[in-house]
């Protein structure tokens, strides 16, 4: 599989209204407050727009979807939700391997790894960041994968897969356990991919 490159959010057509030059900053500040108070699932574009004193269309103009806005708010090093079409393409019995390969190949990019480690360190044990990040990953990636596969207990399956992936990232890139940090991507895909496959489809 070709190496993934983190795509930049698409910019929407049109121009912000006159006098809205600071709207982007106000939207970002409002998004931080909305996500902090309502969580990822509870936050809405309409609520963020109301906090910022702008129309919802202007939020979409600057940031696109809620996932795009959240990703920029936390400076997400990767956007797994945008990789879904490629992850879901191909044989159903290899989805677990494709998920692990996508994540590891993305994290092997130096800038992604640097920002990702910072985000992981800040998320672990943080009563605000942890549920936000978990909500984003669960809703925008793993739950969507599980539901697309039409499996029972999709949310539980997604959570189990997320626990395995989170443990892998922490052990390899934060704790840097020697054997795990030195293992090749191919080796880890071969060993961990079947576990993710079993969580999602077993």
**CATH classification for the domain delimited by 1-73, as one of 3.40.50.300, 1.10.10.60, 3.40.50.360, 1.20.1280.290:** 1.10.10.60
**Local structure of residue 18 (DSSP, 8 states):** T
Q: Are 43 and 67 in contact (CB under 8 A)?
A: no
Same fold, 1-73 and 80-201: no
Express each pLDDT in 70-104 by its tens digit: 878 777 667 777 888 888 888 999 999 999 999 99
Q: Say whether pLDDT at 163 is over 90.
A: no
- Tell me the domain boundaries of the chain: 1-73, 80-201
Entry pTM = 0.66
Torsion over CA of 89, 161, 6 and 63, rounded to 10 degrees? 100
Q: How many residues does the chain have?
A: 202
Q: Say whether pLDDT at 2 is over 70.
A: no
Give the pLDDT of residue 27.
92
Q: Are 135 and 40 in contact (CB under 8 A)?
A: yes
The CATH superfamily holding the domain 80-201 is Tetracycline Repressor, domain 2 (1.10.357.10)
The count of other CB atoms within 10 Å of the CB of residue 151 is 16
What is the rounded distance in angstroms from the CA atom of residue 119 to the CA atom of residue 109? 15
What is the rounded average pLDDT of the residues 138-164?
80
């Amino acid at each position: 599989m070709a190496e993934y490159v983190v795509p930049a959010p698409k910019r929407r057509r049109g121009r912000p209204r006159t006098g809205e030059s600071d709207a982007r900053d106000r939207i970002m500040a409002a998004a931080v407050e909305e996500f902090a108070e309502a969580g990822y699932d509870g936050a809405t574009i309409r609520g963020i727009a109301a906090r910022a004193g702008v129309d919802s269309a202007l939020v979409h103009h600057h940031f696109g979807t809620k996932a795009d806005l959240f990703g920029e708010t936390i400076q997400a090093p990767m956007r797994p939700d945008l990789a879904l079409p490629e992850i879901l393409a191909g044989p159903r019995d290899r989805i677990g391997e494709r998920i692990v390969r996508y994540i590891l190949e993305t994290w092997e990019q130096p800038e992604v790894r640097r920002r990702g480690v910072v985000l992981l360190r800040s998320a672990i044990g943080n009563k605000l960041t942890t549920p936000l990040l978990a909500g984003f990953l669960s809703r925008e990636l793993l739950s969507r994968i599980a539901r697309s596969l039409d499996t029972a207990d999709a949310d539980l399956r997604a959570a189990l897969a997320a626990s395995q992936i989170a443990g892998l990232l922490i052990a390899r890139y934060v704790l840097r356990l020697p054997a795990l940090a030195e293992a090749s991507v191919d080796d880890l895909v071969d060993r961990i991919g079947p576990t993710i496959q079993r969580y999602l489809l077993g």
